[in-house]
Amino acid sequence: MLPKTKNIETTFQHIRLFCIVLVIGCLSATAVIAWQAFRMVGRAQERIYVLSSGKALEAFAGDRKENIPAEARDHIRSFHQYFFTLAPDEKVITANISRALYLADGSAKRLYDNLKETGYYSGIISGNISQEITVDSIDLDMHSYPFHFRCWATQKIIRTTSLVIRDLVTEGWLRNTSRSDNDPHGFLIERWNTLENKDLKVEKR
């Protein structure tokens, strides 16, 4: 009987060891599968599909903190392009200024009102003048909030008989706001001020 008992005990130990190994293996496999599933879900959530001209284009979402400087500069660039890109067409002027005023506070509205009151926009329409702007560089201080910026740009004022190149320097502060269709970056320009706006050269056409 003794050898049989020993064989039963040995067999039982082997079975127990096998069961323990099997359970550990199953738990490990389950943990790995769950981890992989969470990773796949996380990656899927970072993917965005943008519909453009009937085609689905894949994009990737990122943490806003990583994109704040780029978004802030694009907000500043967009504001200046809308505010200073003018054509001898009242509808174009109104549309561009309206877009610009969504991106800034009352300081931009005051400048617009002053220019309108002095007949600046009427002169552009009656004189068939076009105005373009190129933003050359933007200095953005991200170490203090609201974020101070200074923008350097070049203006082109195209008249029937001449082309005027002007140097433009502005400054202001950016604060965070809610994103919207009119303000996709979620910033607002405050205390916007023109530091310099002078002629660099005048060319005859």
**pLDDT in the model for residue 2:** 46
**pLDDT in the model for residue 44:** 55
Q: Residue ranges of the domains in the chain?
A: 2-48, 63-204
Whether the CB-CB separation of 204 and 194 falls below 8 Å is answered with no
HSE-CB of 27 using CA atoms within 13 angstroms: 6
Q: What is the pLDDT of residues 165-187, one digit of tens each?
A: 999 999 999 999 999 999 999 99
Angle ∠(180,195,102) on CA atoms, nearest 5:
15
**Amino acid found at 33:** I
Whether the CB-CB separation of 187 and 73 falls below 8 Å is answered with no
Indicate the pLDDT class of residue 74, thresholds 50, 70 and 90. very high
Higher pLDDT, 5 or 122: 122
**Which string of DSSP letters, residue by residue, matches 75-119?**
HHHHHHHHHH-B-S-HHHHHHHHHHHHTTB-HHHHHHHHHHHHTT
Indicate the pLDDT class of residue 31, thresholds 50, 70 and 90. confident
Rg over CA atoms, the chain = 32
Q: Compute the average pLDDT of residues 9-38.
A: 80
**pLDDT in the model for residue 115:** 94
Indicate the pLDDT class of residue 194, thresholds 50, 70 and 90. very high
SS3 182: coil
d(CA 82, CA 86): 8
From the options 3.10.450.230, 3.90.1150.10, 3.40.50.360, 3.10.20.30, give the CATH code of 63-204. Answer: 3.10.450.230
